[in-house]
Amino acid sequence: MEDKPKITYLRGRAFVEVSRLIFAAKDIEIEEEYTTTKAHFEKLRADGKLMFMQLPLIEIDGMCLVESHAQENYLGWKYDMLGTTKEERGHILMLYEGARSFHDVAQPARWIVFQPEEKWSSFAKEATEKARKRYLPPYEKTLAENGTGFLVGDSVTIADCALFNILSYLDEMACYDNVLNDYPHCKAFVGKFSELPGVKKYLDSPRRFPPPDVAYGKEALAVLF
Amino acid sequence: MEDKPKITYLRGRAFVEVSRLIFAAKDIEIEEEYTTTKAHFEKLRADGKLMFMQLPLIEIDGMCLVESHAQENYLGWKYDMLGTTKEERGHILMLYEGARSFHDVAQPARWIVFQPEEKWSSFAKEATEKARKRYLPPYEKTLAENGTGFLVGDSVTIADCALFNILSYLDEMACYDNVLNDYPHCKAFVGKFSELPGVKKYLDSPRRFPPPDVAYGKEALAVLF
């Protein structure tokens, strides 16, 4: 029997949440270890587990995998979440990377960890504008046209996991000004994805962290810098 | 017979060069169209070819593929450049994404397009320090241990193409202070990769752009913003 995959990361969603959602969507049991001190982070570096000296780390199939895009593509390959035809593969990869770019410009840890609190609302406003301008329209259109509740085909892919990750912040946090109400297929997608059996179990568990807040920002800075 | 793949991008390497190198390494003939005006960029957007409103674009297998990581992963899959075993796949993906992160922190267009010329040398110095601290040591070690001149196995993968892309800037541009001389396996890798038949043909062609300069920076800003 294979060892359970193991995630080592901060106590937050940030750059490992898409992998957590992939495991959840496929109902794969995993272990988690949380890095809450600089000393623990330095020990992982000294042990040679972090090829580029950065978290998150996923230990799986005898490897220490780093780089979040690589982790998610590896899991997508291992668990058959990349489609089968050329057209499916191309669209899944494009929609997955688009959702990662969407995350890069709109996710809240960007300002909660690195910016003073009085600037948060203006960063959130700018993120919401970029979401409206560049990302929400193509995802709304893709979901409407596919009509299955998934982005491509009729089963969950890494594109869905990456989209749910960023949309769930927009859905949960008041700073995004209920923007999803203007994109009903995206809004419905969040609800439907949340109800996938493995995902529901994960979201209801203590392993699902809330969105980042002041305490998370402080801990992340103290561990990483 | 399949249509030739077609790249549409600026007149520079930047975010499509890894795909150009993948096509070159596999000796695949492609077409290229250069976006040199804002009007052409806006036409591509209006035509619906850019899902997230950004270049580069690769038209292939009847699709308009955007997002550079997605393009490179798709080409890697299509042309069998992702290994076969779990261990190969994991390591190729990790080394490929690491080289993309290396590019994000060290590639010269970052400062040549966006920063005033008097700041360029300090940005280059900082990039060189990050390369020494985080990226060159693991690539040096991986190349030394694998011993074939490739990062994984004994044939070219997307990880090699992404590594060559960033290392060739460090090798060609004086601002990086000959840093590769301290990493002999990385230096030798640049030479060996350049001699692959399809790559040599590409590098000797007018399609290979020089590193970015003042003129490139001006054109890129005029097209994109």
Mutation target among B52, B82, B134, B140 for the A interface, most CBs of A within 10 A: B52
Q: Is residue B1 part of a domain?
A: no
B71 and B91 co-located in one domain: no
A91 and A165 co-located in one domain: yes
Q: Is residue B179 part of a domain?
A: yes
Q: Is residue A105 part of a domain?
A: yes
A45 and A74 co-located in one domain: yes
**Amino acid A3: pLDDT:** 87
A214 and A180 co-located in one domain: no
Per-residue CA distances from A148 to A96, A185, A193 (Å) = 17, 11, 11
Give the residue from chain A lying closest to B98, CA to CA.
A67
**Domain ranges, residue B219:** 6-79+202-224
Contact call for B101 and A52, based on CB within 8 A: yes
Q: Which of residues 5-44 of B touch A (CB under 8 A)?
A: none
Q: Determine if residue B25 is left, alpha or beta; phi over 0 gives left, psi from -120 to 50 gives alpha, anything else beta.
A: alpha
Which residue of B77, B93, B98 is in closest CB contact with A89? B77
- Token couple for A109: 């840890």
Q: Is residue A155 part of a domain?
A: yes
CA count, 13 A, side-chain hemisphere, B213 = 7
Give backbone dihedrals phi and psi of B190, rounded to 5 degrees, phi first.
-60, -45
B189 and B218 co-located in one domain: no
Mutation target among A51, A86, A88 for the B interface, most CBs of B within 10 A: A51
* A70 has a chain B CB within 8 A of its CB: yes
Q: Is residue A1 part of a domain?
A: no
CATH number at residue B96: 1.20.1050.10
pLDDT of chain A, 225 residues: tens digit per residue: 678 999 999 999 999 999 999 999 999 999 999 999 999 999 999 999 999 999 999 999 999 999 999 999 999 999 999 999 999 999 999 999 999 999 999 999 999 999 999 999 999 999 999 999 999 999 999 999 999 999 999 999 999 999 999 999 999 999 999 999 999 999 999 999 999 999 999 999 999 999 999 999 999 999 999
Q: Are B41 and B55 in contact (CB under 8 A)?
A: yes
Contacts of B119 (CB under 8 A, 6+ apart): B111
A121 and A163 co-located in one domain: yes
Number of domain units in chain A? 2
CA-CA distance, B83 to A48, in Å (whole number)? 24
* B97 has a chain A CB within 8 A of its CB: yes
A113 and A28 co-located in one domain: no
B125 and B215 co-located in one domain: no
Predicted confidence (pLDDT) per residue in A47-81, tens digit: 999 999 999 999 999 999 999 999 999 999 999 99
A178 and A214 co-located in one domain: no
Which residue of A69, A86, A97 is in closest CB contact with B61? A86
Q: Which amino acid is at B55?
A: L
Q: How far is CA B72 from the centre of its chain?
A: 9
CATH number at residue A42: 3.40.30.10
B68 and B154 co-located in one domain: no
Q: Is residue B144 part of a domain?
A: yes
Q: Are B220 and B10 in contact (CB under 8 A)?
A: yes
Q: Are B124 and B108 in contact (CB under 8 A)?
A: yes
* A105 has a chain B CB within 8 A of its CB: no
Q: How far does the CA of residue B58 sit from the closest CA of chain A (Å)? A: 11
Give the residue from chain A lying closest to B84, CA to CA.
A77
Question: Quick one: angle between helices B86-106 and B68-78, nearest 10?
Answer: 150
B63 and B112 co-located in one domain: no
The interface predicted TM-score (ipTM) is 0.97
Torsion of CA A105, A55, A199, A164, to 10 degrees: 10
A45 and A64 co-located in one domain: yes
Q: Is residue B191 part of a domain?
A: yes
